Structure 1
Amino acid sequence: MSTAEQLTLRVLSALLREDVLGLRTRGRLDERADGRWIVLDPAAGATLALPVAEEGFQSEYAARLPLLELSGRRVTGLDDILAALGGLADPEDRPGWSAFTEECRQTLATMELHDRVRGQVHTALTDLYGPDPAHWTGPAAALGHDTLAAYLDHPVYPTARGRSGLTETQLRSHAPEFHPAFELRWLAVPAGSVTRHGERPLPSWWPTPSWLGLDLEGGDAAWATLPIHPLTLAAPPAAPRPAEPHTAAESRTATGAPQAGSPRAGSPPPGSPLAEALHATGLAGRAVLADRPYLTVVPTLSMRTVAVADDPTCHLKLPLATATLGRLNRRTIKPGTLRDGAAGQRLIEAVLAREPRFADRILHADEQSWAHAGHELLAVLLRRQPAGLDRAVTVPLAALLAPAPGGRLVLDHLADRFHGGDAFALYDTLLELLLDWQATLFGYGIALESHQQNTSLVLDEDGGLRLLYKDDDGPRVHTARLAARLGELAPEPDAFDDARITGEEDRPLTDLFTTITGHLCTGALAFGLAEHGRAELADTLALLRKRLTEAVDRIGPAGEPLRTGLLDAERLPVKAMVTAGTLLSKQRSGAADINKHYTSGPNYLLPKGPTGLTR
């Protein structure tokens, strides 16, 4: 099947899952000679039919063939399919369909680019870190796992590999799937216009204005420097390095102090995202952009977060003027989310202090150091990895099912080294710790948005497993339960900037637990192991239900909402990201949060009878 056909199937399946145009709830099943079809009749005066097969993960059915029928006429090709579907949509929603069509075109181009360069990238990773990813140890080599993960599709969003508005050159030079190295730009801003947080001193490599060659009024003490991602300047990179990772020698040379000589200081290009941000904050003409790039970095899986090449325990989360996972899902950094992430980390540490059995098994990045100048494009988070990772293999959950150099899955390599070749045993070990920890948090009244990108396995030389978390700016907190469990250690009501984080109901927590810990972190692996022939689906799902039940039982009465809303529910919440992120405006979708807007799907965790049907 061609790349275009694969994408078409993913898109059609997502539209069916999210009940776009009423396909799922108003359609009827039609048994034909070639298999099942879902028929929507009439739909805006036309009969719509989609060939389907049973799926069972987050939807009863998925698209079976990359086509649909419109009033008996077969429509193929993703552009034509989306044009046909968009023509049936409400006229008010058609701009969203046009945007989604362009999103699909960009994604297809990116997927085809991935197909062309994957072999080169794998060769480069092997040259850098060795042939076996189970031996890629330390923070620098962990970036290789991020690169492998970047070639996988998202479990929910069909066009996740696309990035709005970026050219091939920009992708090759800055996206994690190419493992490039590039240098940041730096902006000097009057110190009084910057809000800063964090008690730890900045790293020695953080430049002062004079270090950047800037001779500014008042001297260095009167100014703060903010790193700027090159893409935020909307300027093409000077020296793209397609499909070739950085080398240690390149990193040392580029990361060192700038060479002598004062560059011409100036302003960002007119019309660039950065220029617009400076104008909006009144900093235009006051902030100074250093002309000389400085500090070599390597992108992580999130792309807007980069690791310092010579100090890879330090990551910089930088705003990008692009969108992923939907046109409304901008990769900027709202200043309030920096405050929320820091508060989230402190909350997790308060729980850990009361739960000694997780000591040294649950790790968290330090996210207390951040700064912003009052705009979502003028912000930075300095994330520091915890100590003790130098001899460990650190792998994001998102990378486990990715092909490694040589073609085998990352999971296979890890199972060989740490579990005697038993991938099912590795999955079980992961489930025990991850579900125990997340259920414990739920018992305190906390659910984290710790999806497969924000959760990493840390595998130690002795075979021990730890989990590393980051990015806690979008949790849901049951304030009464938290106060009852933590007492005076519970955060103040105003600790979080986003009012949606706190509340007095369980439903936001069970929804988040189900869609993140359930679907993205554990359910997707259960289905993935079966799809790749590493275990039977009945066995992986039975194990998942068993470990989840044990974790819920362990927290006692506080776990009843999870038992009711996840273990025993007929249907489960499912992210409706295409609807909320691209197809509809927020006014039309009613989505208060793009990433927490839900439809529903079957509960794959319910016990199955001898016929395979849910009892």
Structure 2
Amino acid sequence: MDPLDLVLLDLIDTLLGENVAGAADALDADAAGVPGVACAEGERWCRIPATGGALIFRCRDGGPLQPWRLSRAPVWHVGDVERELAPAEVLGLLADRDLPGYDVVTADLRAAVEHTEVTHAGWSTLAERTPQPGGLLTGERLAETRNRPFHPTARAVSGWSSAELSEYGPMRQTPLALRWIAARRDRLRHGEDTTSDRIADVLLGRSEREQLSDAMRTSDVDVNEYQPIPVHPWQFDRVLPAEWADEIAARDVVPLDCHLGRFRPTTSLRTLTSASDPTMHVKLPLGVSTLGAARLLPPRYLDNGDKAQRTLRWLLGTDPTLADRVTLCDERTWCGWHASAVDEFTDRPGQLAAQVRRYPQGVVTNDTIALPMAALAAHEWHHLAPALGVDDPVGFFREIATAYCAMTFALLGNGVLPELHGQNVVAVFPAIHMSTAARPRFVLRDHDTIRLCPRWMAEAGTPDPGYRIKPGAPQSLCLDEPETLIGYAQTLGFQVNLYGIADAIARHYGLDERVFWRALADAVTVSIDAAAVRDDVRDTLRAVLLDAPEWPSRQVLGPLLHAGRGNGVSMPAATGSVPNPLLPMAVRR
């Protein structure tokens, strides 16, 4: 599909789903069409009044979550003249241009089209586009071809040109060397792992460590007083000289003249995988934004990640059934700038940090195919289906959904819920004897956003991780009500992660998406019945997921328009509502 068309699909669907600028209220689904342009079976013409005329496009049944979706591009503006529109032009004809984020969102929509072109061009030149045993990189690249499902600006990297995305993005074909700085050890804070004060030893081989030592001697820094820290080369060139000029002048931070290591960018951009060891990733801050959030690494988040990982480890140690389904990346090796008490909760320290991620044994092997769940939402099922041995697409989805629900409900029963969207969950499939009936195991990564319900934790005996949270600041980590915690499973888990997969499979095989919602309803029902949770938890899960007339939904475009792209590390979002997609009338309409 053309990059412009992909962005248009997400934009129109989001405008209607969130009713941005009253688009859904104003939509006429029995409109006259564009002369000379036909509708296919199941399509109809839709019209939305807009500045100087109206928007006209072909729409289709929107499934259980919303009445209508864009069937296919183009979108026309019909007024004095008739013309096809780019995504930024669509927004310009509907949205209030005085909103704080209008200019930011329109710029991101333009960048989304340009960056999708770069990504798809890079993808088309890769020799390996089918997931294989023994590596994670192809899965990361698959995930990048779609990025976060259903978010119209997800494909935009704000702060990078198309050339920079080509140079530093996941379709880059040659390994990338890292730049290095030396920082005074007394200005750093560290993770729980004992290797946190010697990250260079973890990431580099012997000869490269010797080169690093030479560079430190040349810069007249003592290894006992300074710790070498990797820096993304773009960050080293574009951010470090300006943002850290005072620290460089004071020699608290000393840039080193060396390029060391061999790493490959992933879809996260700030996370790179070792070219020699696919089980090791390094995460480095970038002064760019995606989804309206800065790609930084504030040490307070890394510290909370240590605490959350400790809690998850405890759960796996006490719940053998959960441990059979789930394993964790180890992310306790990190260092970051130690801010003053005044700056502890600011984002600036997150511009200078590094974290090592280690995958557990048994994930990247010759007997497994491991890939982020976001890869399964890519519109690349002509590559995915043969690699995963899929001969029954609905059955395949049902097995994934059942395994996913079993994991999710076990975690909820203990009062915790990681952010289980497709980037944070790696699915591990057997590479041999692959069949539709093969349920995956899951690997969790990015532990810094594990949400909690203290009441359910206390009733389950789950230890509190002891997060550090800015007093009085809005936060979504500690939640008073279980229903609010479950809401994150409904939004990020079901409506983004699993629905993204269902949408991709449905489009590839030409199936009605309601078939997949019906499969998810079956998976939810079976998993609630089978879950080893307290009766009150089971009753709440049934009430919220299966019986409630509405579900919460994740709104992204409206909040971006009202907030713009700030320097914060949290994605602008709000909570709306949608019809419960698992109700019988929804899945069998």
Q: Under a length normalisation based on structure 2, what TM-score does the superposition of the two structures give?
A: 0.83
Q: 1:486 to 1:496 in 2, by over 3 A?
A: farther
- Give the 3 Å change call, closer, same or farther, for CA 25–358 of structure 1 in structure 2: same
1:432 alignment partner AA: T
Q: Which moved more, 1:331-340 or 1:209-218?
A: 209-218
* 2:280 paired with 1:314: yes
Does residue 1:357 correspond to 2:321, yes or no? yes
In 1: Cα distance, 2:91 partner to 2:20 partner: 14
Distance 2:87 2:401 in 1: 41
- How far did residue 324 of structure 1 move? 1.2
- Which residue of the partner structure matches residue 410 of structure 2? 440
The correspondence of residues 206-225 of structure 1 with structure 2, limited to 5 A, is 206=204, 207=209, 211-215=213-217, 219-225=222-228
Aligned-pair CA distance for 1:110 = 2.1
Partner of 2:231: 228
Q: For 1:468, which of 422, 433, 443 is the aligned residue?
A: 443
* Deviation for aligned residue 1:412: 3.5
Name the residue aligned to 1:384.
358
Of 200-209 and 460-469, deviating more is 200-209
Match of 2:15 in 1: 15
Q: One-letter code of the match for 2:84?
A: T
Q: Is the 8 A contact 1:197 1:368 kept in 2?
A: yes
Q: Secondary structure at the match of 1:432?
A: helix
Counterpart of 2:306, as a letter, is A
Evaluate the alpha carbon distance shift between residue 2 and residue 517 of structure 1 in structure 2; reply closer, same or farther with a 3 A threshold. Answer: closer
Match of 1:453 in 2: 423
RMSD after superposition: 3.3
1:548 shift after superposition: 0.7
2:563 to 572, 585, 591: 585
Determine the C-alpha separation between the residues in 2 that align with 1:572 and 1:447.
17
Matches within 5 A, 1:390-409: 390-391=365-366, 392-402=368-378, 408-409=382-383
2:491 aligns with one of 512, 515, 526: 515
CA distance in 1, matches of 2:358, 2:565: 38
Conserved 8 A contact 2:479-2:485: no
Mapping for residues 154-173 of structure 1, pairs under 5 Å: 154-173=148-167
Q: TM-score, normalised by structure 1?
A: 0.80
The one-letter code matched in structure 1 to 2:60 is: A
Identify unmatched segments of 5+ residues in structure 1: 127-131, 235-271
In structure 2, the residue matched to 1:66 is: 74
- TM-aligned CA deviation for residue 222 of structure 1: 0.6
Does the aligned pair in 2 maintain the 1:340–1:473 contact within 8 Å?
yes
Distance 1:83 1:525, change over 3 A: closer
- Of the structure 1 ranges 386-395 and 1-10, higher mean CA displacement relative to structure 2 is found in 1-10
Number of aligned positions between the proteins: 548
State the Cα distance separating 1:524 from its structure 2 match: 2.4
Q: What is the Cα deviation at residue 73 of structure 1?
A: 6.3
Q: Output the amino acid matched with 1:547.
A: A
Q: In 2 relative to 1, CA 351–537 (structure 1 residues): closer, same or farther, beyond 3 Å?
A: same
Which residue is 1:607 aligned to?
584
Classify the secondary structure of the residue corresponding to 1:594. Answer: coil
* 1:280-291 alignment, distance < 5 Å: 285-291=251-257
Residue 275 of structure 1: which of 241, 244, 255 is its match? 241
Whole-angstrom CA distance in 1 between matches of 2:409 and 2:572: 21
What is the alpha-carbon distance in structure 2 between the residues aligned to residue 536 and residue 587 of structure 1? Answer: 36
1:255 aligned partner: none
1:264 match? none
Mapped pair 1:293 → 2:259: yes
Query: Per-residue CA shift, 1:533-591, capped at 9, x if unaligned?
Result: 1765444222211111222233332133333333223332222222223x221799xx9
Q: For residue 241 of structure 1, what is the aligned residue in structure 2?
A: none
Q: Which moved more, 1:170-179 or 1:423-432?
A: 423-432
Identity of matched residues, %: 23
Does 2:487 align with 1:491?
Answer: no
8 Å CA contact 2:147–2:374 kept in 1: the answer is no
Distance between the aligned counterparts of 1:600 and 1:592, measured in 2?
25
Q: Aligned-pair distance for 1:363?
A: 1.1
Could you say if the C-alpha distance between residues 166 and 506 of structure 1 is closer, same or farther in structure 2, counting changes exceeding 3 Å? same
Matched, 1:113 2:88: no
Please identify, of 186-195 and 571-580, the stretch whose mean Cα deviation from structure 2 is larger: 571-580
Which residue of 2 is the match for residue 254 of structure 1? Answer: none
Q: Does the 8 Å contact 1:212/1:290 carry over to 2?
A: no
Show structure 2 runs of 5+ residues with no match. 34-38, 340-348
Alignment partners' CA distance in 2, 1:462 and 1:423 = 19
Question: Does the Cα contact within 8 Å between 1:96 and 1:585 map onto a contact in 2?
Answer: yes
Which of 294, 299, 311 is 1:335 aligned to? 299
* 1:23–1:40 Cα contact (<8 Å) kept: yes
Equivalent residues of 1:67, 1:74 under 8 A apart:
no
Give how far 1:225 is off: 1.4
Q: Give, in angstroms, the shift of residue 39 of structure 1.
A: 5.8
